């Protein structure tokens, strides 16, 4: 978390590159470095302003605004492995399987996404944000598809608002996550009992 204080107010920005978090307070030297690096990433600093955080140990409001604005460029770095999977199935807002309350049918979900050449493995993450429930968090999937069997029933109040996403690893480096894709779950007990 980058924290810059000015006029009694603290502004914050978060930078994340791959799986490395950069957390520190900003002093005048850090401010200069952040502005210089951000200018390189963004191509230039707006209004032709040079990186000029004061060297007397203070950071002005204008300096702080530039630090926060141009640090955002760190979030727009190209994907580290040059491949971000496209989510194919389930399609956005699809309705997926649910099980039976008598336990005679499981909840089975199928996920499919575009392949990344020369990838080592994939990481699939499936969640219900409102409840905090995570059904799938697997980072060792070898193919661009996954069948998830959930031994239970998704309750009525958790049937809508599910999300899933995927990322790939190549030579030990994770790609950026795909965007979240939403889906819902059908009512329980719709499928016939399995003998």
Q: Distance between CA 10 and CA 8 in Å, rounded?
A: 7
Q: What is the residue-wise DSSP string for 140-167?
A: EE-SSEEEEEESS---GGGSS-EEEEEE
CB 84 within 8 A of CB 178: yes
- What is the overall mean pLDDT for the chain? 74
**Could you read off the pLDDT of 102-122 as tens digits, one per residue?**
988 899 999 999 998 889 999
CB 139 within 8 A of CB 125: no
Q: Which helix (H) or strand (E) holds 39?
A: helix 28-42
CB 193 within 8 A of CB 104: yes
Residue pointed to by tokens 């603290």: 10
Q: What is the pLDDT of residue 150?
A: 87
CATH no. of 87-185: 2.60.40.10
Q: What is the pLDDT of residue 128?
A: 96
Q: What is the pLDDT of residue 58?
A: 55
**Could you read off the pLDDT of 72-106 as tens digits, one per residue?**
444 444 566 778 889 999 999 999 999 999 988 89
Q: Distance between CA 18 and CA 31 in Å, rounded?
A: 22
**Could you read off the pLDDT of 16-36 as tens digits, one per residue?**
333 333 444 444 444 444 445
Q: What is the pLDDT of residue 3?
A: 42
Residue pointed to by tokens 């999300």: 163
Residues of the chain with CATH 2.60.40.10: 87-185
Q: What is the percent of the chain where pLDDT is above 90?
A: 47
């Amino acid at each position: 978390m980058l924290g810059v204080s000015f006029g009694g107010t603290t502004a914050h920005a978060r930078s994340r590159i791959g799986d490395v978090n950069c957390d520190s307070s900003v002093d005048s030297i850090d401010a200069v470095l952040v502005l210089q690096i951000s200018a390189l990433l963004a191509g230039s600093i707006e209004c032709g302003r040079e990186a000029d955080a004061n060297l007397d140990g203070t950071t002005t409001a204008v300096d702080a605004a530039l630090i926060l604005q141009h640090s955002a460029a760190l979030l727009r770095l190209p994907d580290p492995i040059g491949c971000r999977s496209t989510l194919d199935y389930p399609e956005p807002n699809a309705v997926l399987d649910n099980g039976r309350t008598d336990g005679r049918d499981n909840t089975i979900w199928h996920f499919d996404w575009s392949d990344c050449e020369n990838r080592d493995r994939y990481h699939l993450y499936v969640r219900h944000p409102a409840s905090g429930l995570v059904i799938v968090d697997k980072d060792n999937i070898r193919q661009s598809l996954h069948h998830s069997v959930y031994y239970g029933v998704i309750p009525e109040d958790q049937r809508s608002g599910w999300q899933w996403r995927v990322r790939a690893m190549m030579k030990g480096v994770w790609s950026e996550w795909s965007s979240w894709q939403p889906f819902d779950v059908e009512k329980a007990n719709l499928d016939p009992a399995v003998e």
